[in-house]
Amino acid sequence: MSDAAAFSAASWTGYLRPDGRKGIRNLVLVVYTVECAQHVAHAIAAGEDDVHVIGFPGCYDNAYAIRLMLALARHPNIGAVLSVGLGCEYTQPEKIAQVVRASGRPAEWFFIQQLGGTGKSVAAGKDLARRLRTQIRADTPRVAMGPADLTVGAECGGSDGTSGLAGNPAVGAFFDLLVDAGGRAIFEETVEMIGLRAHLLARAAHAGATEQLAAAYAKAERYCREVRQYSVSPGNFAGGLTTIEEKSLGAFAKGGTRPIQGVIRVAEAPRGPGLWIMDSVPDAHFMQFGYTNPNDTEGIMDLISAGAQIVLFVTGRGSVIGSPVAPLVKVTGNRATFRAMEEDMDFNAGRVLDGDLTLAQAGHELGDLIVRIARGEPSKPERLGHREYFIMYKHQETPALAAGCRA
Amino acid sequence: MPPRAFQIHPADNVATLLDDAPAGPVTLTGSVAGLREIPAREAIARGHKIALVDLASGAAVVKFGAPIGRATQPVARGAWVHLHNLASDLDERSSSLDRQTGAPSDTNSAYV
C-alpha cells in the first residue's frame, strides 16, 4: 500500500454527535458571558483535564461573538456545556444552554449573583461540570472514524524565513493528502494573501468559488488599505521577510496545491469535502472595520469554530500557545527553534531544509502524527495544558444560523 | 562547510540563507538541481535573502516563482536583499522600518 493509501485507510474510534459529525475528544466546555465571570469559569475548570474554558469579555453583546461561542459549544469535540454569567451582562448564559441542549448535548447554566458569589459558584460549577462529564462518558456513542471525517485547520504565526520555505509547504503537502482522502482542510488569513490575486483565482474549483475568492480578496485588500496595516510584524522583518507579498506567498504555501472549493466565514463549517479558505476579516460597518486577526490565538479559534477537530500551527520563531476545544499541533521549519523549544514543538519540518526529508515525506509524517493525535495521543501544547483563547468584538454578516441565540 | 542558502523556485532571483553567512562563499541548495556556489558580498543573517543575479533599480524581485516587490536601487549579485533595497508594491510602511530589527520609526512620537 502506498503512503497515501495507508493514510486514507487509517481508522480509529471517535465520538458521534447528534448532528452526525464526529469528534476526537469528549470535552465539557465552560462558557462565560462577560469578563466578570472569567475567574469563576477558570476556577471551575482548574485541575480538570477534560474541562475547557472559553468566554467573551464584553458586557455589551456582539452577534459575531455569540455565533463564535455557539459554534465552539456545538463543536464535534464538545460533549456538554456549562454556561456561566455574572448576572447583569447582555450575553445570556441561559440562551447559550438552550441552544446547546437543542443540539442534543446536555447543558447547564447559572448566574454568579444568584448563587451568592465566588466560593458558592465555583463549588456549584465544579459539581455541575463533574456531573456533565459523567453523563457524556456514559452516553456518548462511539463511532469508527477516519481521515475523511476530519476537518483540519492551518494557521501560521511568529513566522521567519523558514516558515515559507519548509513549515508551510510541509502543511501544504499534508493538506493535499487530507483532501485526497476525502477530508476537509481550511486555511485563512486572507489579509496575508495580498498581492496574490491571480494565484488565488487560478486555484478556484469552479466559477462559484472564483466569485467567492475574488470578493474575499477585494475585501481583504480594501481592509488593509483603509486601516494602513498589512499583516507583518517587526519580528517578521528581523527574521528576514521584507515585503507583504513575500510573506503572503510563504503563508499561501500551507494551502497545498488542490483546488479551492470556496470561502467560509467564522463559525461556518465547510459545505463539503476539500480545501476551503476562511474569511475572518471584519465586514465594513458603522464602526469601521475593527481588527481582523489581532493575534494568532484569534485566528486559531476561528478555524476551530468551523468544526476543525485539529489545528496545525506553523511557527518559525517559536510560539508556546495552545487551544481549547481542539488540539493544536505545532510545526516549525526552523531546526534551531525545534531544538530550543522541543517541549513545545510537535513537528520538525526543518529537516526538509537539511535535505533529510522531501516535502512529500514531511506531508506523510505529518499525516501519521495527525492520526496518532486523532487516536488520543496528546499534542505537545495539549500535554502542557495550553488552552489560550481569544473572542473579540467583530462585525461579520453571516448566513443566519438555524439555531441562533434567539431561542 | 560554507553557509547554505535555499532557492525555492527555479525562476527565483533571490535565495534564503539557512545559516548566518559572513562575506564569502555560500552553497546554494533547493529546487535547482546540483550544488552551486554564490559569493556573498557582505554578511547576511540566517533567514535573510541573497541576490542570485544583478538586479536593476525597479526590477521585480522573484521568490516562490512570483514577484515579492521591486528593487529600489541597483542590487549586485551576492548582495543582501532587504528593507533597504527592496520595497513592496503595496505596503508603504515597511520601507520605514529599521533594517536590522524591523522596529517601526513612524510612531516614535507616541512614546512620551
DSSP character string of B21-87:
B-SEEEEEEESSSS-EEEEESS-B-TT-EEESS-B-TTPEEEETTEEEEEESS-B-TT-EESTTTEE
A251, closest residue in chain B (CA to CA):
B64
Chain B residue numbers with beta carbons less than 8 Å from the beta carbon of A220 are none
* Cβ pair A170, A356 in contact under 8 A: no
Contact B46 A194 (CB under 8 A): no
A230 to chain B, any CB pair closer than 8 A? The answer is: yes
Chain B interface, best mutation among A199, A224, A243, A317, by max B CB count within 10 A: A243
Among A263, A249, A66, CA closest to B88: A249
A253 to chain B, any CB pair closer than 8 A? The answer is: yes
Chain B interface, best mutation among A228, A232, A236, A246, by max B CB count within 10 A: A246
Which residue reads 486577526 in cell numbers? A293
pLDDT at residue number B36: 84
What is the band of B112 on the pLDDT scale with cuts at 50, 70, 90? low
CATH class of B4-107: mainly beta
B66 to chain A, any CB pair closer than 8 A? The answer is: yes
Measure in Å the smallest separation between the Cα of B31 and chain A Cα atoms. 11
Find the CB nearest A230 among B66, B67, B91: B91
Contact B88 A353 (CB under 8 A): no
Chain B residue numbers with beta carbons less than 8 Å from the beta carbon of A355 are 29
pLDDT at residue number B34: 63
Torsion of CA A334, A330, A292, A185, to 10 degrees: 110
Find the CB nearest B6 among A165, A230, A244: A165
Contact A242 B49 (CB under 8 A): yes
pLDDT one digit per residue (tens) for chain A, 407 residues: 678 889 999 999 999 999 999 999 999 999 999 999 999 999 999 999 999 999 999 999 888 999 999 999 999 999 999 999 999 999 999 999 999 999 999 999 999 999 999 999 999 999 999 999 999 999 999 999 999 999 999 998 887 778 889 999 999 999 999 999 999 999 998 888 888 898 899 999 999 999 999 999 999 988 888 877 666 677 778 878 888 888 889 989 999 999 999 999 999 999 999 999 999 998 887 556 667 777 899 999 999 999 999 999 999 889 999 999 999 999 999 999 999 999 999 999 999 888 788 888 999 999 999 999 999 999 999 999 999 999 988 888 765 544 333 33
Chain B interface, best mutation among A163, A242, A257, A354, by max B CB count within 10 A: A242
Q: Which fold has domain A27-139?
A: Rossmann fold (3.40.50)
pLDDT at residue number B64: 86
B54-72 burial string, b = 16+ CB within 10 Å, else e?
A: ebeeebebbbbebbbbbbe
Handedness of CA A242, A248, A252, A254 (dihedral sign): positive
Q: Is B78 left (phi over 0), alpha (psi -120 to 50) or beta?
A: left
Chain A from 27 to 66: CB within 8 A of any B CB: none
Find the CB nearest B102 among A161, A234, A253: A234
Size of interface A-B (CB pairs under 8 A): 105
A162, closest residue in chain B (CA to CA):
B47
φ, ψ for residue A368, nearest 5 deg: -60, -40
pLDDT at residue number A398: 60
pLDDT at residue number A403: 37
A222, closest residue in chain B (CA to CA):
B90
B45 to chain A, any CB pair closer than 8 A? The answer is: yes
* Cβ pair B73, B81 in contact under 8 A: no
pLDDT at residue number A405: 36
Domain boundaries, chain B: 4-107
For the stretch B45-61, pLDDT in tens is 988 999 999 999 999 99
A169, closest residue in chain B (CA to CA):
B8
pLDDT at residue number A48: 94
* Cβ pair A253, A163 in contact under 8 A: no
pLDDT at residue number A289: 61
B30, closest residue in chain A (CA to CA):
A353
